[in-house]
């Protein structure tokens, strides 16, 4: 493997079609597509300032690097990435990618990030300004994660999340086969129109959660006082620890909680309208 060390590049495509290349303490200045159409690339302690540095790359490792705001849309149409201990200030990262692993990565401007990706593994990752994160992605494995940003995980499939703090309105809309363990989820309109969403030992806050859901399962979850009007038109099996402020027109299945402040069943309840509701304190 060839090594480039303590140097800098700029302009358009300075390292185009490189293969078997290691970069150490290299700066990529303003320009475009510095490492386009490459393979077997390693970047350690590098700084990326130009746009689109890694497009159409197969097999690359990025360690202790910085992607500045100017390096927008830095990693697209690529596969087999391992990124560790890296700061990503650039927006719109990771599009149309396959098999990517991130550990110890911080993304303070994560808007429109991780779209149409397959095979994503995150460990100890934090993201902010993360609106529309993970659109249309699949086969996602997350542990030790913190997120601030709305409309996340829409249209995702086959997702497992553990030990996360999610501050996100409209999360998990139109998802399929998502399981979340031991996490805090804060945000309005959680999980609408989802299929096979399973929440285990999670704390849920925000109005009108988990409506219009199919195959919804909750196991030993807790609800904040603002999580009202839950489960409208949902098919579910829910075991809740503590109280729920209100439940409205669940369609079918069962709900068990220590107490429910208000149960609303009105003329708008959808067939078969046979959900069994149990208040254990009574």
- 215-258 pLDDT, tens digit per residue, is 999 999 999 999 999 999 999 999 999 999 999 999 999 999 99
2-12 and 19-32 strand pairing: parallel
pLDDT band at 13 (very low <50, low <70, confident <90, very high): very high
State the average pLDDT over residues 153-165.
98
State the average pLDDT over residues 207-214.
98
With contact defined as beta carbons under 8 Å apart, do 252 and 270 qualify?
no
For CA atoms 111, 135, 181, 224, the dihedral sign is positive
State the average pLDDT over residues 59-85.
96
State the average pLDDT over residues 71-76.
94
For CA atoms 112, 154, 198, 80, the dihedral sign is negative
Instruction: List phi, psi (to 5°) of 124.
Output: 55, 55
With contact defined as beta carbons under 8 Å apart, do 203 and 181 qualify?
no
* Structure tokens that stand for 241 in this block: 């620890």
Q: How far apart, in Å, are the Cα atoms of 173 and each of 150, 191, 196, 203, 207?
A: 11, 5, 12, 18, 15
For the chain, the average pLDDT equals: 96
Above 90 in pLDDT, residue 38? yes
Q: What is the DSSP letter of 191?
A: T
The closest alpha carbon to 34, from 58, 10, 56, 57, belongs to 10
- Residue 1: what pLDDT? 87
Q: Which residues contact 12 (CB under 8 A, 6 or more apart)?
A: 31, 32, 33
- Residue 186: what pLDDT? 97
pLDDT in tens, 114-138: 999 999 999 999 999 999 999 999 9
pLDDT band at 282 (very low <50, low <70, confident <90, very high): low
d(CA 227, CA 229): 7
pLDDT band at 95 (very low <50, low <70, confident <90, very high): very high
Helix (H, G, I), strand (E, B) or coil at 142: strand
pLDDT band at 281 (very low <50, low <70, confident <90, very high): confident
State the average pLDDT over residues 164-181.
98
* Structure tokens that stand for 127 in this block: 């993201």
Query: What residue segments make up the domains of the chain, in order of their start?
Result: 1-109
For CA atoms 234, 235, 240, 243, the dihedral sign is positive
């Amino acid at each position: 493997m060839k090594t480039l060390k303590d140097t800098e590049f700029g302009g358009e495509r300075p390292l185009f079609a490189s293969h078997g290349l290691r970069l150490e303490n290299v700066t990529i200045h303003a320009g475009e597509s510095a490492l386009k159409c490459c393979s077997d690339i390693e970047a350690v302690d590098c700084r990326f300032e130009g746009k689109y540095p890694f497009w159409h790359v197969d097999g690359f490792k990025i360690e202790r690097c910085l992607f500045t705001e100017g390096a927008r849309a830095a990693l697209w149409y690529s596969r087999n990435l391992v990124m560790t201990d890296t700061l990503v200030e650039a927006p719109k990262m990771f599009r149309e990618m396959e098999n990517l692993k991130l550990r110890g990565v911080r993304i303070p401007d994560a808007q429109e990030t991780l779209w149409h990706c397959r095979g994503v593994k995150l460990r100890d990752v934090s993201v902010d300004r993360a609106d529309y994160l993970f659109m249309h992605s699949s086969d996602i494995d997350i542990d030790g994660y913190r997120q601030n940003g709305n409309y996340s995980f829409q249209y995702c499939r086959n997702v497992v999340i553990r030990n996360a703090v999610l501050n996100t309105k409209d999360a998990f809309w139109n998802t399929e086969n998502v399981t979340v363990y031991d996490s805090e989820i804060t945000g309005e309109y959680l999980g609408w129109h989802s299929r096979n969403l399973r929440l285990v030992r999670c704390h849920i806050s925000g109005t009108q959660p988990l409506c219009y859901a199919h195959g919804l399962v909750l196991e030993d979850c807790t609800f904040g006082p603002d999580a009202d009007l839950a489960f409208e038109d949902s098919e579910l099996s829910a075991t809740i620890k503590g109280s729920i402020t209100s439940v409205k027109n669940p369609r079918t299945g069962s709900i068990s909680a220590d107490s429910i402040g208000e149960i609303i069943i009105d003329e708008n309840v959808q067939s078969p309208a046979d959900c069994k509701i149990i208040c254990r304190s009574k």
